[in-house]
Amino acid sequence: MFKEEKSLSQLASEYGLCPSVLSRWRTAAIDGLPTLFLDDNQGRAAERAAHERQLQELYAEIGRLTTQLGWLKRKAGIEHVSS
């Protein structure tokens, strides 16, 4: 697939890097090649949708916690003090 003219050890020595780092980078590059030129709009849209779902879940949790806190304050007789 790729023409390797130098070994990882040679490249690492030449550029002052650890051979294991170069090996990980090479593996990551080869693994990422199949999707490198795909339309990234689908990936971004999926990320945005996941982010929106997470936001909605967090806002729902904030609402539940706020309701519980208000209930506990009423039961404990703690009055809301405004500054």
- pLDDT tens-digit profile of 7-19? 888 988 999 999 9
* pLDDT at 74 > cutoff 80: yes
Burial of 12 (0-12, 13-18, 19+ CB in 10 A): middle
pLDDT of residue 82: 56
Domain edges within the chain? 8-75
* CA-based nearest residue to 79, from 70, 58, 38, 4: 70
How do residues 21-63 score in pLDDT, each as one tens digit? 999 998 998 888 877 777 767 778 888 999 999 999 999 999 9
pLDDT of residue 62: 97
